[in-house]
Amino acid sequence: MQTVTGLIPCPSDTFGMSIATRAVWFIFIGWWASGIWLTVAWLLNLSLIGMPIGIKMINKIPWIVSLKEPTIDVNADVDTEIIDDESQVSIREQAQAHDQRSIVLRGVYFLLIGWWASGVWMSIAWVFSVSIIGLPAAIWMYSKLPAVVSLYRY
């Protein structure tokens, strides 16, 4: 068994967006729109009813900032079995994603730490995103935000 880790791009309507288009978006829209977007998402995360919408908004933040394509962070254990049956080769792979932490643990974490830590984390990420030099760090921080909010494994 081996562990596989990586990023898989998700298809979307903006696939193949040029870097020039993304830069213009960031300069004229992305830097200020992301601040508003994050504020609304954080406020939604403060209520149990609004949290699902807030988390979905957080997952969209790389696109809001710079039209960055969404990716899925893969971290799975893979079993590979190769069967050679007289000139026929069959390869079977079975992947198992890691389980989520207990909902009780995640709830307690959110109540004690997640709600305020996510606000600090988002604020720092947004400050990084205002400069082009800090943008890669900000996008990485945005991608880790669901884990900061509620220990969500993705």
User: What are 103-134's pLDDT values in tens digits?
Assistant: 899 889 999 999 999 999 999 999 998 887 99
| Whether 98 contacts 151, CB under 8 Å | no
pLDDT value at residue 47: 87
- Collapsed DSSP state (helix, strand, coil) of residue 63: helix
- Tell me the backbone φ, ψ of residue 139, rounded to 5 degrees: -65, -40
> Around Cβ 153, how many Cβ atoms within 10 Å?
13
Give the predicted TM-score (pTM) of the model: 0.65
pLDDT value at residue 83: 57
78 or 154: whose pLDDT is higher? 154
Residue 80 has pLDDT above 70, yes or no: no
Distance CA 122, CA 64 (A): 14
Distance CA 34, CA 64 (A): 6
| Whether 147 contacts 101, CB under 8 Å | no
| Whether 39 contacts 61, CB under 8 Å | no
pLDDT value at residue 74: 55
Q: What is the pLDDT of residues 61-74, one digit of tens each?
A: 888 988 887 665 55
As a whole number of Å, the CA-based R_g of the chain is 19
pLDDT value at residue 13: 47
Q: What is the pLDDT of residues 19-45, one digit of tens each?
A: 899 889 988 999 899 999 999 999 998
79 or 14: whose pLDDT is higher? 79
